[in-house]
Amino acid sequence: MADIFATHEDAGPDRPGTRAEAIHRDIVRAILEQRLGPGTKLGEDEVGAIYGVSRTIVRAALQSLAHEGIVVIEKNRGAFVAHPSVKEAAEVFSARRLIEPKITELATAHCEVAGAALLRDHLAQEKAAERAGDDRAAIRLSGEFHLVLARIAGHGIYENFLRELVARSSLIILLYRRSRSQCCKVDHHAALVEAITGGRSAEAVAQMVSHLDEIERDLELVDTAIPIKPLSELLGAR
Ligand SMILES: [Zn+2]
């Protein structure tokens, strides 16, 4: 039955909400692939021209990204990809340590045949990207692995919460990683998949905790990064 509250504009794939969501997804994907770095300006006109949409739609997408802490909107300056501080970075990882063991436990309980196939397929994609030397895909897929677990866990709130945390983690890793290595090691994910598909909940949870510890250990959480500012704020008379 058609939704009687849907207006003509709301009805199709071109409705403003859907287009804003598509832009939101695309920007998150660019962050997960580390194409868009912290502090990058997201001009409304420029973003609108890229996607061929009005400023209203761009604004809706940027607002929802800002709501998730992925974008920062500054008065009179516009929207920028967030530049998480050391404190925020520590908070993101402590939040992940809180919810991901639970997600892992739920994913193990609800894995079944379809979930196991999904995990193995994802792992194969991660390995293929690594073999091909496709860094962007490897980085995005390694973040998405955690979201696949949340999908299998079947807990929508955890999944939405984790989507935000994973996108913010990608920015944090870009800013604070010690080495050029990617955030997640495929071997760790493989061990997690083994434990989850084998129904070994405690082992899977322990693997997840040590995996998150390892990611955080590879970060140097010191406030040394200089925020990107326009020259007008750096030069001239004050
Ligand atoms: Zn991982």
- Cα(106) to centroid(ligand 1), Å: 17
What residue spans define the domains of the chain?
9-83, 86-217
Q: Tens digits of per-residue pLDDT, 14-34?
A: 566 799 999 999 998 888 787
The DSSP annotation for 180-202 comes to: S--SS-HHHHHHHHHHHHTT-HH
Q: Tens digits of per-residue pLDDT, 40-82?
A: 999 999 999 999 999 999 999 999 999 988 899 999 999 999 9
171-180: average pLDDT: 81
Q: pTM for this one?
A: 0.79
Rounded to 10 degrees, what is the CA torsion of 180, 184, 187, 192? 170
Would you place residue 174 in the very low, low, confident or very high pLDDT band (cuts 50, 70, 90)?
confident
Are both 9-83 and 86-217 of the same fold?
no
Residue 78 backbone dihedrals phi, psi, to 5 degrees:
100, -160
- Cα(62) to centroid(ligand 1), Å: 27
Cα–Cα–Cα angle for 133, 136, 139, rounded to 5 degrees = 95
Q: Tens digits of per-residue pLDDT, 77-103?
A: 999 999 999 999 999 999 999 999 999
200-211: average pLDDT: 97
- Cα(141) to centroid(ligand 1), Å: 9
* Residue 144 clears pLDDT 80, i.e. is over it: yes
Identify the helix (H) or strand (E) that includes residue 41.
strand 41-42
- Cα(156) to centroid(ligand 1), Å: 20
Residues in the chain: 238
- Cα(10) to centroid(ligand 1), Å: 37
177: its two tokens: 């990683």
pLDDT of the residue at 12:
53
- Cα(14) to centroid(ligand 1), Å: 34
Q: How far apart are CA 159 and CA 102, in angstroms?
A: 11
- Cα(142) to centroid(ligand 1), Å: 6
Would you place residue 238 in the very low, low, confident or very high pLDDT band (cuts 50, 70, 90)?
very low
Which fold would CATH assign to domain 86-217?
Four Helix Bundle (Hemerythrin (Met), subunit A) (1.20.120)
The CATH code that applies to domain 9-83 is: 1.10.10.10
- Cα(136) to centroid(ligand 1), Å: 15
Angle at which helices 86-109 and 201-217 cross, to 10°: 160
pLDDT of the residue at 102:
98
Query: What single letter denotes the amino acid at residue 16?
Result: P
